[in-house]
Structure formats: C-alpha cells, structure tokens
C-alpha cells in the first residue's frame, strides 16, 4: 500500500490513463454481441467531458481506457480506475458508482455506454446489475480488540484513537475507498480558538458555542452531549495538528454557522483529514487494518454484549470478532430517499430532492444498532441546505467563500432572507421562491483573481468557463446573464452595501457583514435546496457508549458521527459536523479501546 500522501501528490501532478484487461466472473455477452474494434465515447463529469476508449472482440469487452478528463485529483481517481475495471470484469455497465465520486462515475459509465452503442451492443442487457456468486465466497475470520464500522471521518478518527490507546483495530468500509462524506465536504471545522479569532477581532467562548449549538437546534439536543462536543472541539484541532494536519490562520463563517469560528484546512475539501488519518494508519499498519468493499451486515451479540461484526466483501464473507468493542461510524441516511421520507416531518415530500452526500450513507449502521437494541433519537430531524448544485445536488460549484461577503437573490433579483440565518430558515425561505431557486451574488472581494478557488478546490474561472457561474463587469450585465431584473439586483446590492456601512440589523434580520459588493468583476452562481445532514440516529452518552430504549448502556457498542443522534437537535450549525466526527470519533475510539 503506497502512502496516501504520496499517492495524492502523484495524482495531482498528472492526468491518469487507465487500461484494464478483464478477469473474473463475467456476464455472458453471447456470440456476436459486438462488432469487433475500438470505439470512443464521452460522458459528462463534474468538471467537463470524460473521454473513454473501449475495445471489444466479437463476444466481450476486452479493455477500457480513460483518455481525457478534468476531474478532481484525490477525489475522482478511484472512479476513473475502478469503474473501467469493473466493466471489464463483470461485462456490465450496471456496476456500482464510487462513493464521493458519483458524478465522475456516471460520466465514465455514460462515455462507455456511448462507445458500446457504436459497437452495436445490446445496451439493455449490459445495464443489468452483475450478481455475486455467493457459493464461491471465501470465509474470513478476524480477531482484534476493536472493530470500526465505517471508514469516513468519524470512523478513522476512532480507529486512530483506539490504536493510540493500545488497541489492535480493524476498519470495515462498504465502499471501495475510505473518506465518506468527509473527503467531499467543504471541510469547515467549528471551534473556539482565541489565538486565531483574536487576530480577526472576534470575541468568542465555549459557552457561546454551546448556546448557539443548543438553541440553534431548538433545545432538543441532549445538553450533556452538546457540552461534551463544544469543550472538546478545539482539543480536536490540536490533536489533528499534532499528526501533521494544517489549518489556515483565517477564521471565517461557514453557511449557517451563526458565528465566525470556522476553520479551513490547507488541503482542499476534506482530503486533509483523511490524509492525516491514513498517514498515521500507514505508519501503524501492523496494528490497524482497513478492509474496503466490506459491508457490515450484522452485529454479533453474545450474552447481551456486542462482540463482533458479520460483513460481506467483494469475494468473501467476514466474521470479525472484537475483544473490547465495536464502533459504529456509518454516517447518516441522507442518501436513502425511502428512509428520509419515512422519518420526515418537517419538509414536504423529499423524493425528488437531491443530496450533497455520496451514495454510501443509507442508514445501514442505524438499522444494525437498532436490531441490537439501540435507541434512536431525533430521526425526524433532516437538514436541507439552500446550497445544492441545480443538476447534482452536490455542494461543488458553490461560489460563496463565507457568509459576510455575499447575498442571495431570487430569480427576480430580490433578496428574500437573512443570509446569515439558520440553515433550515434559509431553506424554507428558498422553497417559497420561484422554482425554489436562487443566485449567490458576490464580487472581487471574494475572488481577487480568476484562479482563486472556492471551498471545493474549484477556481472561479473554471466555474465560469463551465457555465456553473456567471461573471460581469457591471450588475446590469450580470442581471442580464442570469435573467434577473437589473433594477432589482442593483437595489438589493445597494441596500446590502448600506448595511455594511452601518453594521445595523437589516429588514431581514441580518447582522453578519464584512465587505461591500461594489468591486468588479461581479459573480453569480445558481443554487437549490438539497438534502445534507440527518441529525437523528443512535443515542449515545458522553462516553460514546450506545444506549438502549431504557437508557442503559449496550456493552461493547459505541457510535460516533452522523450515525448518532441527540447532539445537534433539530438543526445542525454549519461547521459543527467535521468537529463532531473528530470529537466523538476520538471519544468512541478511546472508550472502545478501554472496553469501557
């Protein structure tokens, strides 16, 4: 296994071309299924066209190459490698997409489909999902101190901490790579940080963070959980920095954070977190094993204690015994439409609402824990953001850099909400606008140069070129480009600029300001509501021990991250999720290692 950091650097330095020759169990294509030859096709990736080359003989697909792409290194790499491999292996384009790189995966599949159409293939047959041959699965047994289910931010934090407390650890990750939602996140981390905040003239306190988190969730969270969270947020940053992770010195306010205490990593997206964990794991791989493509299916319970996990791998069945404890860190259920609709009480039907999440968070861990007796809390609390990409629902393409320097306008060019409000408040207001669509408006203060990047490692010039953002030297021209009323847009900006001068609360209740929107070029980016975070889940105590329906500890079972409930209440503050993964990931790992 190559070091994660080294691999990321190499991937950032060059485009990747993969040539994969098939092996393994395949679907039967049939004689004369293809017109032999080599064909090309293109699909739409997240940053433009993905071009592939597909080679077939009369009966099968023999090779797939990704020729050209502009996808994000370190995020889309596995999709560009594994999707072609699986297509050849299974002779199918019905293979699974890759977590965290869904758009890139679909782009490759679309391109291969178009190439195969040229080869005269029966596309309907090739779109069938390949089946596993269960009879050929190998039986694998593992015996460790701690099993962690889930290789996202909270799971890897738990794994590292468990090892730091003397445990031998196994991580089971159902997707083909680790990272979860953390690696594709905007990576903002909330913590009271006097040193950094003082430089910006920001006064803050742990009590203030507690109050805003508790009241921002309508006081339905468990107070002791909120207190544990806010008190351990900054120590979490110190812990990450002790392992080599770097944060920028500037503090900002991420969407819905309510206060400037958000930290931004130096590395793009959430790659800094995952790289930090994986570097540690690589150095200690004798005692920490990660098994990807390994979906946990059942907790093993003996005499009322959780002692292990059953899982299914790509080619094996796994029984993993844990002498000290099992940590559930499988994320939430924002990617499970049926589950969202089952528990939803706050929003209208969520069936057609896209999500910022990768495909993995489908509530698996919640189901397993509940079957083992765990109590679930706050399942009806589902967070929608007003910041989804209109096509994909993802956070990518979002042009905002922070709350203070931008406004939201509807299709008519009018402001309609306090842009520094709670996320649910902003999203409800957006649903009331025409087509539930808005424009984020800002200027050169947010993008001093065209190569300045957003929080998702995309430069503003790239976004404009791709038609995902609009640029103009005047507000009149910008309004024309986005189809808004020029007078309305100019008035909206003028009113905002007056408030920047006075710092007074405006008619929408806004209080967060920094720079005026008065310097060309001006920019606009479209956004829609999207499912982002599920605040409900497995109930835990401050030691991250899972509780049953009577409030008693289920021995041997711990949980952390978005799979838990009771920490954020009815609404999660922006920037609290990454801190949550670190704080309770660490607590769960330590508690499990101690067999607490």
Query: Would you list the DSSP string of 330-391?
Result: ---STT-HHHHHHH--SSS--TT--BSS-S--SSHHHHHHHHTTB-EE-TT-EEEEEEE-TT
Distance, in Å, from the CA atom of 55 to the CA atom of 21, rounded to the nearest integer, reads 10
Q: What is the pLDDT of residue 99?
A: 56
Other Cβ atoms within 10 Å of 195 Cβ, number: 9
Distance, in Å, from the CA atom of 548 to the CA atom of 464, rounded to the nearest integer, reads 51
Q: Decide if pLDDT at 119 tops 80.
A: yes
Question: What would the mean pLDDT of 364-381 be, rounded to a whole number?
Answer: 97
Distance, in Å, from the CA atom of 407 to the CA atom of 315, rounded to the nearest integer, reads 51
The catalytic position among 340, 406, 422, 423 is 423
In which band, very low, low, confident or very high, does the pLDDT at 155 lie, cut at 50, 70 and 90?
very high
Residue identified by tokens 């096709």 is: 41
Length of the chain: 596
| CA atoms within 13 Å, Cβ hemisphere of 256 | 25
> pLDDT, tens digit, for every residue of 50-108?
999 999 999 999 999 999 998 876 667 878 998 999 999 989 999 988 755 778 889 99
Distance, in Å, from the CA atom of 248 to the CA atom of 291, rounded to the nearest integer, reads 33
> pLDDT, tens digit, for every residue of 345-361?
999 989 999 999 988 89
In which band, very low, low, confident or very high, does the pLDDT at 26 lie, cut at 50, 70 and 90?
very low
Ramachandran angles phi, psi of 95, nearest 5°: -75, 160
Any idea what DSSP says for residue 424? H
Q: Six-digit token pair at 416?
A: 């309609």
* C-alpha closest to that of 255 among 479, 440, 103: 440
Q: Please report, rounded to a whole number, the percentage of residues in the chain having pLDDT higher than 90.
A: 83
Strand order in the sheet with 189-190: 189-190, 262-265, 247-252
- Please answer whether residues 79 and 53 qualify as being in contact, where contact means their C-beta atoms are separated by less than 8 angstroms: no
Per DSSP, the three-state class of 193 is coil
In which band, very low, low, confident or very high, does the pLDDT at 128 lie, cut at 50, 70 and 90?
confident
Q: Please report, rounded to a whole number, the percentage of residues in the chain having pLDDT higher than 70.
A: 93
Distance, in Å, from the CA atom of 64 to the CA atom of 120, rounded to the nearest integer, reads 16
Q: Decide if pLDDT at 16 tops 60.
A: no
Distance, in Å, from the CA atom of 322 to the CA atom of 76, rounded to the nearest integer, reads 33
Q: What is the pLDDT of residue 349?
A: 87
Beta bridge partners of 538: 376, 564
Question: What would the mean pLDDT of 437-447 be, rounded to a whole number?
Answer: 98
Q: Decide if pLDDT at 28 tops 90.
A: no
- Please answer whether residues 172 and 322 qualify as being in contact, where contact means their C-beta atoms are separated by less than 8 angstroms: no
Per DSSP, the three-state class of 567 is coil
Q: What is the pLDDT of residue 100?
A: 55
Active site residue 415: no
Q: What is the pLDDT of residue 135?
A: 63
Distance, in Å, from the CA atom of 509 to the CA atom of 499, rounded to the nearest integer, reads 11
Question: What would the mean pLDDT of 192-205 be, rounded to a whole number?
Answer: 95
Distance, in Å, from the CA atom of 559 to the CA atom of 365, rounded to the nearest integer, reads 9
What value does the mean pLDDT of the chain take?
Answer: 92
In which band, very low, low, confident or very high, does the pLDDT at 3 lie, cut at 50, 70 and 90?
very low
Q: For the chain, list the domains and their CATH numbers.
A: 4-126 (3.90.1010), 139-381+535-594 (3.50.50.60), 384-531 (3.90.700.10)
> pLDDT, tens digit, for every residue of 215-262?
999 999 999 999 999 999 999 999 999 999 999 999 999 999 999 999
Q: Six-digit token pair at 264?
A: 């931004």
- Please answer whether residues 168 and 141 qualify as being in contact, where contact means their C-beta atoms are separated by less than 8 angstroms: no
> pLDDT, tens digit, for every residue of 279-317?
999 999 999 999 999 999 999 999 999 999 999 987 899
Task: Measure CA 580 to chain center.
Answer: 14
Q: What is the pLDDT of residue 129?
A: 84
Per DSSP, the three-state class of 455 is coil
Q: Decide if pLDDT at 31 tops 60.
A: no
Question: What would the mean pLDDT of 501-527 be, rounded to a whole number?
Answer: 96
In this structure, of 133-142, 292-301, 477-486, the range with the lowest mean pLDDT score is: 133-142
Q: Decide if pLDDT at 21 tops 60.
A: no
Strand order in the sheet with 564-565: 376-377, 537-539, 564-565
In which band, very low, low, confident or very high, does the pLDDT at 132 lie, cut at 50, 70 and 90?
low
Question: What would the mean pLDDT of 530-552 be, rounded to a whole number?
Answer: 98
- Please answer whether residues 18 and 80 qualify as being in contact, where contact means their C-beta atoms are separated by less than 8 angstroms: yes
pTM: 0.80
Q: Decide if pLDDT at 371 tops 50.
A: yes
Distance, in Å, from the CA atom of 176 to the CA atom of 179, rounded to the nearest integer, reads 10
- Please answer whether residues 124 and 144 qualify as being in contact, where contact means their C-beta atoms are separated by less than 8 angstroms: no
Question: What would the mean pLDDT of 178-191 be, rounded to a whole number?
Answer: 96
User: Alpha-carbon torsion 366, 232, 549, 382, what sign?
Assistant: negative
Q: Decide if pLDDT at 48 tops 90.
A: no
- Please answer whether residues 202 and 251 qualify as being in contact, where contact means their C-beta atoms are separated by less than 8 angstroms: yes
Question: What would the mean pLDDT of 403-423 be, rounded to a whole number?
Answer: 97
Q: What are the DSSP calls for 30-42, one per residue?
A: -TT-S-SEEEEEE
Question: What would the mean pLDDT of 354-375 be, rounded to a whole number?
Answer: 94
Question: What would the mean pLDDT of 138-162 be, rounded to a whole number?
Answer: 97
- Secondary structure string (H, E, C) spanning 59-82: CCEEEEEEEECCCCCCCCHHHHHH
Per DSSP, the three-state class of 449 is coil
Any idea what DSSP says for residue 131? P
């Amino acid at each position: 296994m190559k070091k994660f950091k080294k691999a990321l650097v190499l991937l950032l330095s060059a485009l990747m071309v993969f040539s994969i020759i098939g092996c393994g169990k395949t679907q039967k294509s049939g004689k004369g299924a293809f017109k032999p030859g080599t064909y090309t096709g293109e699909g739409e990736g997240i940053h433009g066209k993905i071009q592939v080359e597909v080679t077939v003989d009369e009966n099968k697909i023999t090779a797939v190459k990704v020729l050209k792409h502009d996808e994000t290194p370190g995020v889309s790499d596995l999709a560009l490698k594994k999707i072609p491999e699986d297509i050849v292996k299974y002779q199918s384009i019905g293979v699974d997409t890759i977590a965290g790189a869904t758009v890139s995966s679909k782009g490759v599949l679309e391109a291969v489909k178009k190439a195969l159409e040229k080869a005269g293939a029966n596309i309907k047959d090739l779109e069938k999902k390949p089946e596993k041959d269960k009879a050929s699965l190998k039986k694998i047994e593992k015996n460790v101190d701690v099993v962690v289910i889930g290789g996202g931010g909270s799971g890897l934090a738990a794994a590292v901490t468990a090892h730091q407390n003397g445990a031998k650890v196994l991580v089971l990750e159902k997707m083909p790579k680790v990272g979860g939602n953390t690696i594709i996140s905007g990576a903002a981390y909330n913590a009271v940080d006097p040193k950094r905040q003082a430089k910006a003239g920001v006064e803050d306190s742990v009590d203030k963070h507690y109050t805003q988190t508790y009241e921002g969730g309508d006081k339905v969270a468990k107070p002791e959980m909120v207190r544990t969270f806010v008190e351990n947020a900054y120590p979490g940053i110190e812990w990450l920095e002790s392992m080599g992770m770097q944060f920028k010195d500037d503090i900002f306010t991420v969407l819905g954070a309510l206060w400037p205490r958000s930290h931004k990593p130096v590395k793009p997206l959430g790659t800094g977190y995952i790289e930090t964990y994986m570097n540690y794991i690589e150095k200690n791989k004798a005692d920490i094993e990660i098994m990807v493509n390994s979906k946990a299916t059942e907790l093993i319970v003996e005499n009322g204690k959780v002692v292990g996990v059953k899982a299914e791998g790509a080619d094996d069945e796994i029984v993993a015994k844990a002498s000290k404890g099992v940590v559930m860190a499988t994320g939430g259920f924002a990617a499970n439409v049926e589950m969202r609709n089952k528990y939803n009480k706050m929003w209208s039907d969520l069936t057609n609402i896209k999500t910022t999440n990768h495909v993995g968070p489908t509530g698996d861990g919640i189901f397993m824990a509940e079957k083992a007796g765990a109590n679930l809390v706050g399942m009806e609390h589902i967070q929608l953001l007003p910041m989804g990409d209109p096509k994909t629902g993802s956070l990518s393409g979002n042009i905002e850099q922070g709350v203070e320097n931008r406004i939201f306008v509807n299709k008519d060019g009018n402001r309609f909400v306090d842009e520094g409000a709670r996320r649910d408040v902003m999203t409800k207001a957006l649903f009331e606008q025409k087509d539930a669509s808005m424009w984020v408006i800002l200027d050169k203060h947010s993008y001093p140069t065209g190569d300045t990047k957003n929080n998702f490692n995309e430069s503003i010039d790239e976004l404009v070129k791709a038609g995902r953002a609009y640029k103009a030297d005047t507000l009149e021209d910008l309004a024309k480009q986005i189809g808004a009323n020029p007078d309305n847009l100019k008035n909206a900006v003028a009113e905002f600029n007056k408030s920047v001068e006075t710092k007074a609360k405006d008619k929408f209740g806004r209080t967060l300001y920094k720079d005026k929107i008065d310097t060309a070029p001006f920019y606009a980016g479209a956004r829609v509501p999207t499912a982002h975070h599920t605040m409900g889940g497995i109930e835990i105590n401050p030691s991250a021990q899972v509780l049953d329906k009577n409030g008693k500890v289920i021995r041997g079972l711990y949980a952390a991250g978005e799979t838990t409930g009771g920490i954020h209440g009815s609404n999660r503050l922006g920037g609290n999720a990454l801190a949550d993964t670190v704080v309770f990931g660490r607590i769960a790992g330590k508690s499990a290692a101690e067999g607490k």
